[in-house]
């Protein structure tokens, strides 16, 4: 979404505290991200999964129905974890934690998610080192980010709080090279990249908002950067 240029972005922790109650509402970015992660995912059955920066845990049911042996989820924001705890099927292994200092021993997980949160970290080095540390040898590490092309086109991570006030989340732009360099230094190897763009999959959101003209202008604009690494 594009917003007035003079709107001051909120630090991520502050923003997500305000966003927690309405965070589950889907939008073009979240739908494209969900679909490309499903495309990148290995079989979950019998695997241990870490969802780092899980938000409200809205993607955890995908892991549960996929037969994951163990699911652990962390997020920096207490309000997000509280919402995740309220989900009937959410596992109990939830914690407030920073992805740059995960509260786990090394080599515990077969699959690691870090989804739509990388842009809230100024320097990706510590985050990738922790993701790699938590992953077992041969594990899959899936990272998604708000696409730099979308940011360059004026799009931002934004939401309306409980009072209806438009808010913007502070975001740091990381291109593919920044991600790959940080991951490589952490010992991860890139296997696949997906860059889903505005198209028929998300047209319904533009229709509902009365923004079909914007849809036509933005068709083909990548909104999400998704990367699959192996440990």
Residue 143 has pLDDT above 80, yes or no: yes
44 is in which domain, residue-wise? 12-230
Residue 11: pLDDT band (50, 70, 90) is very high
> Three-class SS string for 175-218?
CHHHHHHHHHHCCCEEEEEECCECCHHHHHHHHHCCCHHHHHHH
Lowest mean pLDDT among 55-64, 141-150, 170-179, 191-200: 55-64
Distance from C-alpha of 56 to C-alpha of 71, rounded to nearest angstrom = 14
Report if residue 5 sits inside a domain.
no
Residue 8: pLDDT band (50, 70, 90) is confident
Strands (E), the chain: 48-52, 70-75, 94-96, 109-115, 135-146, 158-160, 166-168, 189-194, 224-230
Report if residue 48 sits inside a domain.
yes
Residue 6 has pLDDT above 80, yes or no: no
Q: Residue 160 has which token pair?
A: 């309306």
Report if residue 139 sits inside a domain.
yes
pLDDT, the chain, mean: 93
| Inter-CA distances, 217 with 2, 81, 86, 200, 208, Å | 13, 37, 40, 13, 16
At 176-228, the pLDDT tens digits run: 999 999 999 999 999 999 999 999 999 999 999 999 999 999 999 999 999 99
- What's residue 89's pLDDT? 60
Distance from C-alpha of 157 to C-alpha of 167, rounded to nearest angstrom = 9
Domain harbouring 128, CATH code: 3.40.50.150
Residue predicted with more confidence, 62 or 118: 118
Residue 61 has pLDDT above 80, yes or no: yes
Residue 43 has pLDDT above 60, yes or no: yes
Number of domains in the chain: 1
Report if residue 1 sits inside a domain.
no
Report if residue 106 sits inside a domain.
yes
Report if residue 153 sits inside a domain.
yes
**Length of the chain, please?**
231
Distance from C-alpha of 199 to C-alpha of 215, rounded to nearest angstrom = 8
């Amino acid at each position: 979404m594009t917003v007035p240029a003079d709107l001051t972005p909120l630090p991520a922790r502050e923003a997500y505290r305000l966003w927690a109650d309405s965070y589950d509402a889907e939008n073009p970015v979240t739908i494209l991200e969900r679909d490309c992660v499903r495309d990148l995912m290995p079989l979950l059955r019998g695997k241990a999964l870490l969802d780092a920066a899980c938000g409200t845990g809205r993607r955890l049911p995908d892991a549960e129905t996929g037969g994951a042996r163990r699911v652990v989820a962390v997020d920096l924001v207490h309000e997000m974890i509280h919402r995740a705890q309220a989900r009937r099927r959410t596992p109990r292994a939830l914690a407030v934690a920073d992805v740059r200092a995960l509260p786990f021993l090394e080599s515990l997980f077969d699959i690691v998610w870090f989804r739509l949160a990388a842009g809230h970290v100024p320097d990706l080095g510590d985050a990738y080192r922790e993701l790699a540390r938590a992953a077992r040898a041969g594990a899959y590490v899936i990272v998604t980010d708000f696409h730099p092309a979308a940011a360059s086109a004026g799009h931002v991570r934004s939401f309306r709080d409980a009072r209806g006030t438009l808010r913007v989340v502070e975001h740091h732009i990381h291109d593919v090279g920044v991600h790959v360099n940080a991951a490589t230094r952490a010992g991860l190897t890139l296997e696949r990249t997906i860059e889903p763009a505005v198209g028929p999959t998300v047209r319904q959101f533009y229709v509902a908002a009365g923004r079909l003209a914007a849809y036509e202008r933005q068709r083909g604009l990548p909104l999400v950067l998704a990367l699959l690494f192996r440990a």
